[in-house]
Amino acid sequence: MAAASSSSTESPKTTTERRGIPGAQFVEDVETYLTQTGFDVNSALAFLQERLQQYKLVEMKLLAQQRDLQAKIPDIEKCLDVVATLEAKKGTGEALIADFEVSEGIYSRARIEDNDSVCLWLGANVMLEYSCEEATSLLKKNLENAKASLEVLIADLQFLRDQVTVTQVTIARVYNWDVHQRRIRQIAASSTSKDS
Amino acid sequence: MILKGTGGSETEVTWEDQQNINKFGRLNNRFHELEDEIKVAKEAIDNLEDASNELILTDEEVVRFQIGEVFAHVPKEEVETRIEEMKELNSKNLEKLEEEKESVVAQMAELKKILYGKFKDSINLEED
């Protein structure tokens, strides 16, 4: 952002886009912006409003993805917990007794003997048997991936929110400029009519 | 947060101002996220407190401790240790969140000073 590119015609104050999200161009001066784009005030406002709506849509999508990931991560951590507990019990030779839910409000008791493998639910009606170590490393890898995806998603959301803010500020400035212009025209019109 | 014009006054918005406004927006969002996370962490700590209190009162030797989706039969001492560990973890987490929240609030106050200084009435940075 601090790169000085004096010969470039693009203002270095725009990141043109990020993963499909168009960047909002920062407007140095409203008048220049309107003459450059050839918009009149109303079309400029309409264009910016539409951009804002598009941003809002993308924001909803990203927020939904973020919620999914944030639910997935504790799930994976719980699985890791269980595998770790089973591994810990392995050495002692005693069985693990656990109560599990059969249906809502109904629990059954299970006796889990010493064993070396666990089955992991991979989704899409698929369950695979793994040794405890393999299971732990698979779960840990999934957890890493989920956390990394979440970080990228959060960065995307921040970028998006910045673009929304820039667009909102631009809308306000275009509108104010228009009000300012009308006022000037009004004063000019009333003063000429007074003179004539 | 809005930027409204007061009649004829036309304060120019520079790129630096825009960046400050963006930063304020980001900090505000983070502030609300932190408040939610702090609430969750406090609830978790309260629950652990209640659990360890119940544990002291009970005279059973084996406690059903939730691991993942099942309740494993775990001897009482082990449960006590586990609960202590979880309380430690949660307290540290809460401390970290509170610290971050304080820093965010301080940064927001700084930015408010700068932005109100330049734009005075033309900008509103309060919660609606």
pLDDT band at A15 (very low <50, low <70, confident <90, very high): low
User: Does any domain span residue A195?
Assistant: no
Residues of chain A with pLDDT > 90, as a percent, come to 49
Candidates B62, B73, B125, partner chain A, best to mutate (most A CBs within 10 A): B73
User: Does any domain span residue B24?
Assistant: yes
- Per the DSSP assignment, residues forming a β-bridge with A103 are A106
Q: Do A168 and B3 touch (CB under 8 A)?
A: yes
User: Does any domain span residue B94?
Assistant: yes
The answer to whether A179 and A30 are in contact (CB under 8 A) is: no
User: Does any domain span residue B128?
Assistant: no
pLDDT band at B7 (very low <50, low <70, confident <90, very high): very low
Select the more confidently predicted residue: A89 or A173: A173
Any idea what DSSP says for residue A50? H
Q: What is the pLDDT of residue A13?
A: 55
Whether the pLDDT of residue B20 is over 90: the answer is: yes
Tell me how far the alpha carbon of residue B56 is from its chain's centroid.
31
User: Does any domain span residue A20?
Assistant: no
User: Does any domain span residue A96?
Assistant: no
Whether the pLDDT of residue B2 is over 60: the answer is: no
Q: What is the pLDDT of residue A40?
A: 87
Report the alpha-carbon distance of residue A134 to residue A155 in Å, rounded: 32
Candidates B2, B9, B18, partner chain A, best to mutate (most A CBs within 10 A): B18
Q: Do A99 and B69 touch (CB under 8 A)?
A: no
User: Does any domain span residue A63?
Assistant: yes
Whether the pLDDT of residue A142 is over 90: the answer is: yes
Q: What is the CA radius of gyration of chain B?
A: 24
**What pTM value is reported for the model?**
0.80
For B4, the closest chain A residue by CA position comes to: A172
Any idea what DSSP says for residue B69? T
Select the more confidently predicted residue: B34 or A4: B34
Instruction: Identify the CATH number of the domain in which residue A59 sits.
Output: 1.10.287.370
Q: What is the pLDDT of residue A95?
A: 84
For A164, the closest chain B residue by CA position comes to: B22
Q: A162 is in which domain, residue-wise? A: 27-89+116-185
Q: Do B5 and A176 touch (CB under 8 A)?
A: yes
Q: Which of A96, A98, A169 sits opposite B13 (nearest CB)?
A: A169
CB-CB neighbors (< 8 A) of B5 in chain A: 172, 175-176, 179-180
Candidates A63, A80, A176, A178, partner chain B, best to mutate (most B CBs within 10 A): A176
Is A69 exposed, middle or buried, given 0-12, 13-18 or 19+ CB atoms closer than 10 A?
Answer: middle
The number of domains in chain B is 1
Chain A: closest CA distance from residue B13 (Å): 7
pLDDT band at A159 (very low <50, low <70, confident <90, very high): very high
Q: What is the pLDDT of residue B93?
A: 95
Q: In this predicted model, what pLDDT tens digit does every residue of A99-141 receive, in sequence order?
A: 999 999 899 999 888 778 889 988 889 999 999 889 999 999 9
Whether the pLDDT of residue A14 is over 80: the answer is: no
Whether the pLDDT of residue B122 is over 90: the answer is: no
Q: Which of A100, A158, A169 sits opposite B26 (nearest CB)?
A: A158
Q: B99 is in which domain, residue-wise? A: 2-122
Q: What is the pLDDT of residue A137?
A: 94
pLDDT band at B11 (very low <50, low <70, confident <90, very high): confident
- Give the ipTM: 0.79
The number of domains in chain A is 1
User: Does any domain span residue B9?
Assistant: yes
CA distances from A27 to A36, A44, A149, A180 (A): 11, 12, 33, 17
User: Does any domain span residue B39?
Assistant: yes
User: Does any domain span residue B127?
Assistant: no
**What's the token pair of residue A173?**
């400035």
User: Does any domain span residue B79?
Assistant: yes
Instruction: Identify the CATH number of the domain in which residue B31 sits.
Output: 1.10.287.370
